[in-house]
Amino acid sequence: MSTGAPPDAGGPDPRVMPAAASGFGAGADDYERGRPSYPADAVELLCRELGIGPGARVLDLAAGTGKLTRLLVPTGAEVVAVEPVAEMRERLRTGVPEAHVLDGTAERLPDVGRPFDAVTVAQAFHWFDAPVALAQIAGVLRPGGGLGLVWNERDAREPWVAELSRLIRWDERGRWRVPYTVEEDWAARIEATGAPFGPVARYDTTYRQPMDPDTLVARVLSTSYIASQPEADRAVLAGQVRELVADLGDSFELPYVTVAYWCRRDP
Ligand SMILES: C[S@@+](CC[C@H](N)C(=O)[O-])C[C@H]1O[C@@H](n2cnc3c(N)ncnc32)[C@H](O)[C@@H]1O
């Protein structure tokens, strides 16, 4: 998957999966507008467990437009953010000027200087070649340093959200394959790689994203494999999404289940 080669000027980044390279590149604005932040309890727990605070050094890997990065800055830690897609990186630099932003992939990290106390990965570990990425992460963490992962998943217990997922996943099942299922047990996946990390702990919580029809359309259109589709297909999907939420009014909430995992690098 990862070639380590630098991206061609203007083209999709060959170092990351095609759906991520073209999807996130085309959809950076929709991504920033439509994607959720992360719940305070999950972020606080990860910061506590991973020792992210004043004097600590943290790497936010696959930082995107900085949705988690900007929540790490107020902890007082020194924040470095790595993101391979140029359009996302641009939004990250303007949105989170306090972070030191670098180009790079999980499979081939750039020179990040002295070891980190913690590495975080939000909504992105599923894009990585896990064994390669874990070896790279172990290489930039100090012994005993922490790794934290977090995902928001739409909470399909609400019927309209289940229908939204069905609309989005029609495409996912059909033309585009995305390396991610909501049922994935990442603790087991990480432990099975034999990477030098201790037991993986898990925390489940919920999050409600303030939403309106336009933002929901941006959220759907920012999905990696939808962002890179022809405008006509995207317009059809946008219409279906508007119809789905027509009865919810101008302001409603999109519920998520949030799952966080953390572990420590072996001493
Ligand atoms: C769903 S976004 C998450 C972004 C951000 N962490 C957040 O919480 O909003 C996934 C990000 O992973 C990045 N990505 C995909 N493959 C990657 C890889 N192999 N190494 C590093 N980042 C990668 C994408 O460019 C994208 O910015």
Would the pLDDT of 255 be above 80? yes
Structural domain total, the chain: 1
- pLDDT mean over 109-126: 95
Best probe residue, ligand 1, of 32, 85, 220 (max atoms within 8 Å of C-beta): 85
Q: Is residue 90 part of a domain?
A: yes
Does 117 map to a domain?
A: yes
The number of the ligand 1 atom at minimal distance from the alpha carbon of 85 is: 25
Ligand 1 pocket, mutate which of 2, 59, 71, 83 (most atoms under 8 A from CB): 83
Does residue 169 form part of some domain? no
Q: Cα of 174 to ligand 1 centre, how many Å?
A: 23
In a domain, 65, yes or no: yes
DSSP string, the chain: ----PPPPTTSPPTTS-HHHHHHHHHTHHHHHHHS----HHHHHHHHHHHT-STT-EEEEES-TTTTTHHHHGGGT-EEEEE---HHHHHHHHHH-TTSEEE---SSS-----SPEEEEEEES-GGGS-HHHHHHHHHHHEEEEEEEEEEEEEE-TTSHHHHHHHHHHHHHHHTT---S--TT--HHHHHHHTT-SB-PPEEEEEEEEEEE-HHHHHHHHHTSHHHHTS-HHHHHHHHHHHHHHTGGG-S-EEEEEEEEEEEEEB--
Closest atom, ligand 1, to C-alpha of 68: 8
pLDDT at 5 over 50: no
Q: Give 89-112 pLDDT, tens digit per residue.
A: 999 999 999 999 999 999 999 999
Ligand 1, atom 10: closest residue by C-alpha: 124
Q: Which of 90-104, 177-191, 198-212, 219-233 has the lowest mean pLDDT?
A: 177-191
CATH of the domain at 53: 3.40.50.150
- More confident position, 27 or 125: 125
Domain annotation covers residue 240: no
Cα 92 to ligand 1 centroid, rounded to whole Å? 12
Region 142-165: mean pLDDT is 94
Question: Does residue 23 form part of some domain?
Answer: yes
Domain region containing 69: 18-154+180-208+256-264
Q: If pLDDT is split at 50, 70 and 90, which confidence band does 7 have?
A: very low
Residue 230 lies in a domain: no
Query: Which of 54-63, 92-101, 150-159 has the least mean pLDDT?
Result: 150-159
Residue at 10 is within a domain: no
